[in-house]
Structure 1
Amino acid sequence: MLIYIVKRLLTAIPTLLLISLLVFFIIELPPGDYFENYIAELQAMGETVDPHKIAYLKAEYGFDQPMIVRYLNWVGGMLHGDFGYSFEYELPVTDVVGNRLFLTIFVSLVTIIFTWLIAFPIGIYSATHQYSWGDYGLTFLGLLGLATPNFLLALILMYLANIWFGTSIGHLMDAQYLDQPMSWAKFRSISEHMVIPVIVIGTAGTAGMIRRLRANLLDELHKQYVITARAKGVPPFRALVKYPLRMSLNFFIADIGSILPAVISGAEVVAIVLSLETTGPLLIRALQSQDMYLAGSFLMFLAALTVAGVLISDIALAILDPRIRLSGGVRR
């Protein structure tokens, strides 16, 4: 196991370097840069542009140097904890992301817990009561959750929350707490506003997890070892939990590789519709404005989380399922 982990970590280094090269190249691919977009926006609004300030900023951040030099400076800065400067916000990237990162992690973790608490009991019930009225009803609700666009559900729940409960879901907190430090009153405001985003973001994930858990558990319940356990008189709940449910969780463990970056990126479209102070809209805005250091740092952070998540899921799968081996070759 230790040798496998070391090999994967050594493989992750060239993987991240290749990803950083692709990220930098893709951000640079559109014509122009942030400064040209900024000048065009000012001119469209009839404002004047100070060419000396633009020239100074380009020289300060190396935009007058070749692309390969800027790439090496960017990667070298990240290795020392310097993620660059956000031109649009006129702040270091770490300062721009800091407050939003905490809210994004909080919302995403609550959404993941909500998804698990709803999906696991329903998926187990549907598998153990196959073709019952309850199974049909829950299957219909699951398919409805998969088919409903998240942004449409967000708009509907925003309207109902405002009409029925008088809660205006336009941000993650009331307006007076937007720039205030964390307090008990601010936490209560966040908790009140977070109900709708958690339901909206978790709906599609819950529906998908129910369907996969049901299918995998049904496959395990029809295998010979389950029939043998029942014939030996093993209690039904123990016969379900000890092996079939454990073996059917492989997909759940494998999803860790996608859960970790999802915690940071958040549901971008839903966050835009609900005006949430998360990192998703920030990333989209950075890509649109070619704020390269902010966008590039985001994408590299997501790539690192993906590599780490896949490694964690592989190790957890090997521990959960003894049929999975971390080394190749034929076992005799």
Structure 2
Amino acid sequence: MIRYILWRVLVMIPTLLLISALVFTIMELPPGDFFESQIAEMRAMGENADMAEIEALRARYGFDKPLVERYFHWVGGMLVGDFGYSFEYQLPVTDVVGDRLWLTMMVSFVTIIVTWIIAFPIGIYSATHPYSWGDYGLTFVGLIGLAIPNFMLALVLMYFANIWFGTSIGHLMGREYLGQPMSWDKVKSILEHLWIPVLIIGTAGTAGMVRRLRANLMDEMEKQYVVTARAKGLAPGKLLRKYPLRLALNFFISDIGSILPAIISGAEITAIVLSLETTGPLLIRALQSQDMYLAGSFLMFLAFLTVIGVLISDIALAMLDPRIRLAGGRTK
């Protein structure tokens, strides 16, 4: 096990280097850069751009240097905690992200927990009562949850909240707390606003998880070892918990590789619709404005979390399911 983990950690280094090169190349593919985009926006609004100041900024941040040199400067900075400078916000990347990172993690963690709490009992009930009226009803609701995009559900809820209650359900806190330092009143306001984005973002994930748990659990319950245990008189509840349910959880563990980056990125489109103070809208805005250091740092962090998540899921799967081995051997 230890040898396998060390090998995977070593493999992560060239993997992340390759990803960093791809990210940097993609960020450089669009014509121009942030400064040229700013000049075009200023001219479109009828303003005159100070070309001398812009050229000084280009030279200050190394945009006049060769592409390869800028790449190694960017990667070397990240290794020492310097993620670069956001040109649009005129702040270091770490200062721009600020509280948005913690708010995103909180929304995503709560969404994951709520999703699991709802999906587990529904999926188990549907698998143990297949093709019943309850199963058909839950399946119908789940398909609706999968069919309706999260951002559309957010628009519908915002409309009815305004029509019925005359209030806006946007933001993660009251407007009086926007841009204010963290306080107990601000925390209470966040907790009051949190349940709406959690329910909206978790709708599709809950529906998909119910369907997968139902399918995996039904498949396990039809296998011979379950039939044998049932024939020997093992109690249904104990049989379900000890064998098929445990093996049906493999896909939960394998999803860790996608859950970790989702915790940071958040539901971008839904966050824009609800005006949430998370990192999703920040990432999309950085990509649109070619704020390369901010966007590139986000993408690299997501790649790092994905690699870590895949490693954790592989190890957890081997511990959960004895049929899975981390290293193969010859069979005689």
Query: In the aligned structure 1, how far is the partner of 2:161 from the partner of 2:244?
Result: 41
Does residue 50 of structure 2 align to residue 50 of structure 1? yes
The aligned residue for residue 274 of structure 1 is: 274
The residue correspondences of 1:100-249 to structure 2 (distance < 5 A) are 100-249=100-249
Query: Percent of pairs identical after alignment?
Result: 75
SS in 2 for 1:169: coil
Contact 1:158 1:196 in 2 (8 A): no
Instruction: Please give the per-residue CA displacement for 1:64-118, whole angstroms capped at 9, x wherever unaligned.
Output: 0000000000000000100000000000000001211011001000100110011
Instruction: Please give the per-residue CA displacement for 1:129-148, whole angstroms capped at 9, x wherever unaligned.
Output: 00100000000001110001
SS in 2 for 1:194: helix
SS in 1 for 2:243: helix
Does residue 294 of structure 2 align to residue 298 of structure 1? no
Shift of 1:56: 1.2
The aligned residue for residue 287 of structure 2 is: 287
Shift of 1:29: 0.2
Range with greater deviation from structure 2 (117-126 or 42-51): 42-51
Query: In the aligned structure 2, how far is the partner of 1:218 from the partner of 1:177?
Result: 49
For the aligned residue pairs, the C-alpha RMSD in angstroms reads 1.0
Shift of 1:331: 3.8
The aligned residue for residue 99 of structure 1 is: 99
Instruction: Please give the per-residue CA displacement for 1:185-209, whole angstroms capped at 9, x wherever unaligned.
Output: 2122112222221111100000000
Query: In the aligned structure 2, how far is the partner of 1:306 from the partner of 1:84?
Result: 22
The aligned residue for residue 265 of structure 2 is: 265
Matching residue's letter, 1:63:
F
Shift of 1:166: 4.8
Query: In the aligned structure 2, how far is the partner of 1:81 from the partner of 1:184?
Result: 30
Matching residue's letter, 2:234:
V
Query: In the aligned structure 1, how far is the partner of 2:181 from the partner of 2:84?
Result: 25
TM-score by length of 2: 0.98
The aligned residue for residue 32 of structure 1 is: 32
The aligned residue for residue 14 of structure 2 is: 14
Query: In the aligned structure 2, how far is the partner of 1:199 from the partner of 1:217?
Result: 25
Query: In the aligned structure 2, how far is the partner of 1:161 from the partner of 1:256?
Result: 34
Query: In the aligned structure 2, how far is the partner of 1:108 from the partner of 1:149?
Result: 17
Contact 1:129 1:135 in 2 (8 A): yes
Matching residue's letter, 1:152:
M
Query: In the aligned structure 2, how far is the partner of 1:159 from the partner of 1:44?
Result: 34
The residue correspondences of 1:81-92 to structure 2 (distance < 5 A) are 81-92=81-92
Query: In the aligned structure 1, how far is the partner of 2:122 from the partner of 2:330?
Result: 39
Query: In the aligned structure 2, how far is the partner of 1:117 from the partner of 1:312?
Result: 22
SS in 1 for 2:215: helix
Contact 1:173 1:189 in 2 (8 A): yes
Alpha-carbon spacing, 1:272–1:101, altered in 2? closer, same or farther (3 Å):
same
Alpha-carbon spacing, 1:96–1:111, altered in 2? closer, same or farther (3 Å):
same
For structure 2, the 5+ residue unaligned runs are none
Query: In the aligned structure 1, how far is the partner of 2:331 from the partner of 2:243?
Result: 23
Q: How many residues align?
A: 332
Contact 1:221 1:244 in 2 (8 A): yes
Shift of 1:167: 4.1
SS in 2 for 1:330: coil
Shift of 1:162: 3.4
